[in-house]
Structure 1
Amino acid sequence: MICPLANFEEVFQSESGAVYQCSRKNCYWLDFMGTTTAFSVRDFFQFKKRVDAIDLEMMLSNSARSFDFEIIMPFRTEHIFILNVEDIVRLRDLLAGAKFMIELNSEIRSCLKRSLSLTF
């Protein structure tokens, strides 16, 4: 459940979902496959690493049913992701876009701080 007092800013959105930043609780919210999951900043990036580490080639090349899906239980959340190859690709794209926007925003703020400190 999302806190009604939270202040959300959209970080990145795609056809598959969206990532929001909550400035009140200093966390990220992932909206994917019809569910919303909250992550601390550290856990969000750990989750991204975990999704990126999934071996899609193995999933596609192995005909055993156990390789049809990947189950991910993110740390400190109550949500379980059961993902097929297509879901993983969509989630990777969403998380990569969000990470890029987070890093871009950080770099812009850093440049602005440097330029302001040079003018004073």
Structure 2
Amino acid sequence: MVCPLANVEKVFDTEHGVVYQCSRQNCYWLEFQGSTTAFKISDLFLFKKRIDSVDIELMLSDSSRANDFEIIMPFRTERCFLLTVSDILNLREILSGTKFMIQLNSEVKRCLRRGCLIA
């Protein structure tokens, strides 16, 4: 669970998970599979890249048990993710939405600083 003293704002959520931004600790919190993992922004994007690189087609087409799950240990966390195909697809949705919202927020702030938004 996210620290109750933290100042968090929801960045993106689905029925499978949510990402919060914590301005007090300057990090992002991913709630997924019943637990919460903290990431610095660069580590969150590295984790997204790792999730996006999982070969779903191989997992679905290979009948061996070795490809039923993917084990991913994000950088600078104590968390180990044991992911099925549906877990990976759900994480991709959460992380893609999060990245989009972070980039959108940055673009809006940039436009506001430049005065390019018309009221």
Q: Mark yes or no: TM-score above 0.5.
A: yes
Deviation sequence 1:26-74 (CA, Å, 0-9, x none): 1000001111000011100000000000000010110010000000001
How far did residue 5 of structure 1 move? 2.4
How far did residue 98 of structure 1 move? 0.6
- Whole-Å separation in 2 of the counterparts to 1:2 and 1:89: 24
How far did residue 4 of structure 1 move? 3.3
Give the count of matched residue pairs: 116
Mapped pair 1:81 → 2:75: no
**Residue aligned with 1:20, SS:** strand
Write the letter of the residue equivalent to 2:7. Answer: N
- Whole-Å separation in 2 of the counterparts to 1:8 and 1:16: 19
- Whole-Å separation in 1 of the counterparts to 2:41 and 2:15: 23
Write the letter of the residue equivalent to 2:101. Answer: M
The RMSD of aligned alpha carbons is: 1.1
How far did residue 111 of structure 1 move? 0.3
- Whole-Å separation in 2 of the counterparts to 1:113 and 1:62: 51
How far did residue 6 of structure 1 move? 1.2
5+ long unaligned stretches in structure 1: none
Map residues 72-111 of structure 1 onto 2, 5 A cutoff.
72-111=72-111
- Once the two structures are aligned, what percentage of the paired residues are identical? 63
Matched with 1:46 is 46
Matched with 1:56 is 56
TM-score (norm 2): 0.94
- Whole-Å separation in 2 of the counterparts to 1:88 and 1:51: 7
Matched with 2:29 is 29
